[in-house]
Amino acid sequence: MIIAIDGPAGSGKSTIAKFIAKKLNYSYIDTGAMYRAVAWSADNEGIDLDDENTVGQWTEKLKIEFITDPEGQQIKVNGANATGLLKNEVVGRGAAKVAAQKKVREILVAKQQEIGRSGNVVMDGRDIGTQVFPNAELKIFMDADAEERGKRRYLELKAKNMDVDLENIIAEIKQRDLEDRNRTISPLRPADDAIKIDTTKFTIEEVIDQVMEKIKLKQNS
Ligand code: DC
C-alpha cells in the first residue's frame, strides 16, 4: 500500500507519517527533506537559488539517500549526513524557492516515484496525493490553524534549545502557506479523494487513531 500524507508546514504530517510507517513496518519518505536538500546543498555550492537553470542542473546530479535506522531517519546528500542541518527556517525558505521550479519538481517527483514503486511506503509532502502518487491507496490531507501550527513548531525548536520567537514563527508559517498554496506548479491542495483531517484540536495520539482507523478500513476493503 502507498499512503500519501499531504498538508501545510506544521500540520503534524511528519510526526504522524513517521509513527504510522514504524507501526506498519513501512518505509517513511519525507519529501520536504528532498527540497530542503536541494536548497541547502546548492546554497553551500554558492549557487544562486533564483537561477533556475543552474539549480536544475545541480538537482540532476545530486545524490539523495534515505537511511532508516532505529534512531530515526537519516538523510545523506552527496554522501554527507545532512540530517540535522536541513530543518531550519533559512533552509526552509530556500526549499520553498526551489520547490516552485519546474525542473527541480520534475527530478524530485521522478525520484519519489522510483522510491515508492516497490510499495509499502508512507510518503509525506505537499503533492503526493495529487502528483506523485495520484493512485495511492490512501490519501490523507492534514491541516490546522496557522497559530496552532506555529505553536507546535515553536515548541519543537525550543525543545532543541533553539532561540525562537513565536510571533515570528507564525508569520513565517503564514508566508510559507501563501507561497505553497499559490505557486503555479503543483500548489498545495488536497486531492479530490483525500481524507481531510483538521488536527487543530486533536492530540497526536487522537490523529494517529483516526489515521490507523482509515488504514484498517482500506486493508479490509
Ligand atoms: O515539509 P517541509 O517544510 O520540509 O517542506 C519544505 C518546502 O518544500 C516547503 O516550502 C514545501 C516544499 N515541498 C513541496 O513543494 N512539495 C513536497 N512534496 C514537499 C515539500
> Residue 129: its pLDDT value, please?
97
How many A from CA of 190 to the centre of ligand 1? 14
Return the CATH fold of 2-220.
Rossmann fold (3.40.50)
pTM confidence score: 0.93
Angle between the N-to-C axes of helices 31-44 and 52-61, in degrees from 0 to 180, rounded to the nearest 10: 110
196: number of Cβ within 10 Å = 11
Specify whether the CB–CB gap between 45 and 176 falls below 8 A: no
- Closest atom of ligand 1 relative to the 6 alpha carbon: 18
The residue contributing the CA closest to ligand 1 atom 4 is: 32
- Closest atom of ligand 1 relative to the 9 alpha carbon: 3
- Closest atom of ligand 1 relative to the 176 alpha carbon: 10
> Residue 70: its pLDDT value, please?
61
The residue contributing the CA closest to ligand 1 atom 6 is: 32
Specify whether the CB–CB gap between 138 and 4 falls below 8 A: yes
- Picking from 69, 135, 56, the residue whose alpha carbon sits closest to that of residue 102 is 56
Reading the chain (221 residues) residue by residue, the pLDDT tens digits are 999 999 998 899 999 999 999 999 999 999 999 999 999 999 999 999 999 999 999 999 999 999 876 667 899 999 999 998 998 889 998 999 999 999 999 999 999 999 999 889 999 999 999 999 999 999 999 999 999 999 998 998 899 888 899 999 999 999 989 988 998 998 999 999 999 999 999 999 999 999 999 999 998 88
> Residue 141: its pLDDT value, please?
97
- What are 195's strand-pairing partners? 140
- Of the residues 15, 16, 31, 35, which should be mutated to test ligand 1's pocket, given the most ligand atoms within 8 Å of the CB? 35
> Residue 38: its pLDDT value, please?
98
How many A from CA of 221 to the centre of ligand 1? 32
How many A from CA of 30 to the centre of ligand 1? 9
> Residue 47: its pLDDT value, please?
98
DSSP 142: E
Q: Could you identify the residue written with the cell 490546522?
A: 144
